[in-house]
Structure 1
Amino acid sequence: MSYEFIGYQDREELIVALAQRLTGDLVAALRHNDRVAFAVPGGTSPGPVFDDLCAARLDWDRVDVLLTDERWVPEDHERSNTRLLRERLLVERAAAAGYLPLYAPYPEPEGALEALAEPIAANMPLAVVLLGMGADLHTASLFPGADRLEEALRPDAPVLLPMRAPGAPEPRITLTAEVLNGALAKHVLIFGAEKRAALDSAKGKPALEAPINAVLSGAVVHWAE
């Protein structure tokens, strides 16, 4: 599996360089398409990147932003990834971007899958994807041991799947591996020695054990201590 690994002197250097790289990828995609889709993770790691990226000079009104995955909670919930996006990415110049939601007010994600997937499918392939990775080698909500992981890794998987995993307090909804892997540009952001060691440990493992391996080929991994 071939991917590019870039190590940075510190997190600040990574944040600035990654925001510039993502901007360049989006500008390049916009040269060839009227609209492009940009998928990003939730969690704490990408927040500082969003703080830089939201001021980037590009045609944000032609960019549709979406999450790679979401917890099935309302957008104003403290655990909502959408809340993070609205506070830190979809502001300043990037406030002009479109937003493709991964949540709708249904008790369970199964009730909203078709409606949420339709606008995403219309924007495929995704132009740029930024991914995170957990120490357990999950990415998006493709968790080892999750109830529908095997289905989510198949080439013929639907655009979105609900996902329930041991230790996850609420259901998730996630883009499937084929959708993530089909992006024109893929970046993975990781911080710290633990995740660096985890990434190294993923080599040679099947994607069922190390879901990150389903999307690493052709990606650029950005790491700082």
Structure 2
Amino acid sequence: MKFIENADRDMAVMNIAHALTSDLRKCLLQHEFASFAVPGGTTPGPIFDAMSSVEIDWHRVHVMLTDERWVPDDHARSNAGLVKARLLTGKAAAARFVSYYRQGLRAQEAAPQLSQKLTGEVPISVLLLGMGADMHTASLFPGAPGLAEAMGRDAPLICAVSPPDQPEDRISLSAPALAGAMDKHLVIFGDDKRAALERAMTLPPQDAPIGAVIKGGVVHWAA
């Protein structure tokens, strides 16, 4: 795991956007398309803004989420809404977005269909991750129902999870799907997140899911 310390968050945003677009370009030199898995939340928004104006073959990039709340794409809590508003605009509007939500189905019912749909997208070409202070990543929350299945070696690509402190069910790329990405990047800000990541490296994966997926990747940090 490579650790990059940035002078400040603005510098981190620019450096991460550059690293991600460079990895996408590298993949597109060798493959017909690149799959790009991204998180929701507040942290990646500025990174998406910076990437959306970069000139690459966006029409050959397939954008998907690392995880999603089981709500329609136009719901206020949808990660898809963030990606569409902040990344899939400008030059990046040409990218293909892989939507997860299926009207009329529960997350648990849709997960097998989505796993089959994503078969052609793996291994993920470029992966961007976030991490919570509890050491979760994507929707792999320590102690959440469904975590053991999502962390298993034979886990499907997409798993339904039900974090007890969250208002909606969620779906998440499984730990093997995340860990198998060709280029992996984790962005964390603040001393508390840095300490949590250091602690995660000493704990079992069930207690610190980030530790199961970021090995061999790049960590981008700023205070």
**TM-score in terms of structure 2 length:** 0.98
Partner Cα distance (1:172, 1:213) in 2: 21
On the 8 A contact 1:141/1:172 being kept in 2, the answer is yes
What is the aligned counterpart of 2:129 among 117, 122, 131?
Answer: 131
On the 8 A contact 1:132/1:188 being kept in 2, the answer is yes
Q: Which residue identity does 2:159 align to in structure 1?
A: L
Partner Cα distance (2:171, 2:31) in 1: 27
- The residue that corresponds to 2:71 in the other structure is 73
On the 8 A contact 1:101/1:116 being kept in 2, the answer is no
Partner Cα distance (1:89, 1:14) in 2: 17
What is the aligned counterpart of 2:42 among 32, 44, 62?
Answer: 44
Partner Cα distance (2:200, 2:113) in 1: 35
Per-residue CA deviation, residues 119-147 of structure 1 (Å, 9 max, x unaligned), is 31111111000000000000000000111
Check if 1:189 corresponds to 2:203.
no
Check if 1:61 corresponds to 2:59.
yes
Q: Which residue identity does 2:176 align to in structure 1?
A: E
- The residue that corresponds to 1:209 in the other structure is 207
80-89 vs 117-126, which deviates more?
Answer: 117-126
- The residue that corresponds to 1:19 in the other structure is 17
- The residue that corresponds to 2:163 in the other structure is 165
Q: Note the aligned Cα RMSD (angstroms).
A: 0.9
- The residue that corresponds to 1:87 in the other structure is 85
- The residue that corresponds to 1:30 in the other structure is 28
Partner Cα distance (2:113, 2:160) in 1: 13
Structure 1 regions of 5+ residues with no counterpart?
Answer: none
4+ aligned runs moved over 3 Å, structure 1: none
- Following TM superposition, by how much is the alpha carbon of 1:103 offset from its aligned partner in structure 2, in angstroms? 1.3
Partner Cα distance (2:52, 2:151) in 1: 31
On the 8 A contact 1:69/1:102 being kept in 2, the answer is no
Per-residue CA deviation, residues 134-178 of structure 1 (Å, 9 max, x unaligned), is 000000000001111111111111010100112111100000011
On the 8 A contact 1:74/1:105 being kept in 2, the answer is yes
122-131 vs 97-106, which deviates more?
Answer: 97-106
- The residue that corresponds to 1:122 in the other structure is 120
Structure 2 regions of 5+ residues with no counterpart?
Answer: none
SS at match of 2:68: strand
SS at match of 1:73: coil
- Following TM superposition, by how much is the alpha carbon of 1:56 offset from its aligned partner in structure 2, in angstroms? 1.4
Partner Cα distance (1:119, 1:59) in 2: 23
Per-residue CA deviation, residues 27-56 of structure 1 (Å, 9 max, x unaligned), is 000011101100000000000000001111
Report % sequence identity.
48
**TM-score in terms of structure 1 length:** 0.97
Q: Which residue identity does 2:63 align to in structure 1?
A: V
On the 8 A contact 1:77/1:83 being kept in 2, the answer is yes
- Following TM superposition, by how much is the alpha carbon of 1:107 offset from its aligned partner in structure 2, in angstroms? 4.4
SS at match of 2:22: helix
On the 8 A contact 1:103/1:116 being kept in 2, the answer is no
Partner Cα distance (1:209, 1:158) in 2: 20
On the 8 A contact 1:100/1:119 being kept in 2, the answer is no
Q: Which residue identity does 1:140 align to in structure 2?
A: A
- Following TM superposition, by how much is the alpha carbon of 1:76 offset from its aligned partner in structure 2, in angstroms? 1.2
On the 8 A contact 1:54/1:94 being kept in 2, the answer is yes
- Following TM superposition, by how much is the alpha carbon of 1:203 offset from its aligned partner in structure 2, in angstroms? 2.3
